[in-house]
């Protein structure tokens, strides 16, 4: 029913995937910058996800798992940052999948894409100064590009583990699906804050993920999940 592929799980990236019956969930965390490797060496990056998982009540509904993970990780990181003197944070992605709905929670600028029949149906938005300006402005157009001013694109307004301003909680979405679909997650290292049409042809075309070049994997392709109604596991 669900076909999951880990494309990238390097240092600074940790992935947790679990499926049961007709549902599944995927959690991905990524260090904002290289200094976050301090946490990897001192605490264990994968242990961070496991610790957050252990704090989730066993009766938690599948729809609430992404936001529960985000809340737990945020609390854990803020406590550790205070203790360790770190001032880092995470890109966070949480997705719960069912036959009819996807429950998505995101913080940062890792992007979640939902595809049906090879068409982009939904995509999460980047949480940076540019996207916040465009969302809140009546003009809706900011005359700046990533090449012109990268700091505007790399400035977070939503992330985990930071207790500084501007800071907002992760955003949650519910996406309805019907039939087969696929979900792809990639980081800013791959999308580079471009429109999806500029980078998704290779990922979501007919080519299997095994044929995606090592260079692109290193650039931030994370994971892919396909839901196939007639797939026998």
pLDDT digits over 60-70, tens only? 999 999 999 99
pLDDT higher for 198 or 81?
A: 198
Q: What average pLDDT score do residues 117-137 get?
A: 85
Distance, in Å, from the CA atom of 186 to the CA atom of 197, rounded to the nearest integer, reads: 14
CA 166 to chain centre: 20
pLDDT band at 59 (very low <50, low <70, confident <90, very high): very high
pLDDT digits over 86-103, tens only? 445 678 999 999 999 999
**pLDDT given for residue 77 in this prediction:** 78
**pLDDT given for residue 124 in this prediction:** 94
- For helices 65-84 and 45-54, angle between their N-to-C axes, nearest 10 degrees: 130
Give the full edge-to-edge strand order of the sheet including 171-176: 13-20, 23-31, 90-97, 101-107, 171-176
Count CB-CB contacts under 10 A for residue 21. 8
pLDDT digits over 13-56, tens only? 788 899 988 899 999 988 776 455 555 544 567 788 889 999 99
pLDDT higher for 85 or 61?
A: 61
Q: What average pLDDT score do residues 139-149 get?
A: 76
Distance, in Å, from the CA atom of 153 to the CA atom of 14, rounded to the nearest integer, reads: 23
Of 84, 91, 118, 121, the residue nearest 106 (C-alpha): 91
pLDDT digits over 155-198, tens only? 777 777 765 555 566 889 999 999 999 998 988 878 888 888 87
How many alpha carbons fall within 13 Å on the CB side of residue 32?
22
Structure tokens at 191: 């999308």
Of 21, 28, 91, the residue nearest 62 (C-alpha): 21
Q: What average pLDDT score do residues 72-86 get?
A: 69
Distance, in Å, from the CA atom of 171 to the CA atom of 182, rounded to the nearest integer, reads: 21
**What is the phi/psi pair of residue 172, to 5°?**
-120, 145
pLDDT digits over 201-213, tens only? 655 554 454 455 5
pLDDT band at 9 (very low <50, low <70, confident <90, very high): low
| pLDDT at 7 exceeding the cut of 80 | no
What's the alpha-carbon Rg for the chain, to the nearest Å?
Answer: 17
């Amino acid at each position: 029913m669900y076909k999951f592929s880990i494309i990238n799980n390097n240092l600074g990236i940790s992935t947790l995937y679990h499926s049961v019956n007709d549902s599944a969930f995927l959690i991905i965390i990524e260090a904002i910058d290289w200094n976050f490797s301090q946490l990897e060496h001192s605490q264990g990056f994968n242990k961070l996800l496991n610790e957050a998982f252990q704090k989730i009540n066993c009766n938690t509904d599948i729809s609430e798992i992404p936001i529960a993970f985000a809340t737990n990780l945020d609390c854990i990181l803020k406590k550790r940052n205070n203790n360790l003197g770190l001032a880092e944070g995470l890109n966070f992605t949480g997705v719960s999948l069912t036959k009819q709905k996807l429950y998505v929670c995101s913080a940062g600028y890792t992007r979640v894409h939902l595809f049906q029949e090879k068409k982009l149906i939904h995509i999460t938005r980047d949480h940076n100064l540019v996207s916040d300006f465009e969302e809140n402005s009546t003009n809706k157009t900011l005359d700046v590009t990533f090449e012109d001013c990268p700091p505007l694109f790399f400035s977070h307004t939503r992330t985990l583990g930071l207790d500084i301003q501007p800071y907002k909680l992760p955003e949650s979405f519910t996406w309805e699906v019907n039939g087969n679909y696929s979900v792809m997650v990639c980081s800013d290292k791959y999308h580079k804050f471009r429109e999806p049409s500029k980078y998704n042809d290779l990922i979501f075309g007919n080519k299997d993920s095994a044929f995606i070049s090592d260079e692109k994997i290193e650039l931030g392709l994370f994971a892919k999940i396909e839901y196939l109604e007639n797939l026998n596991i």
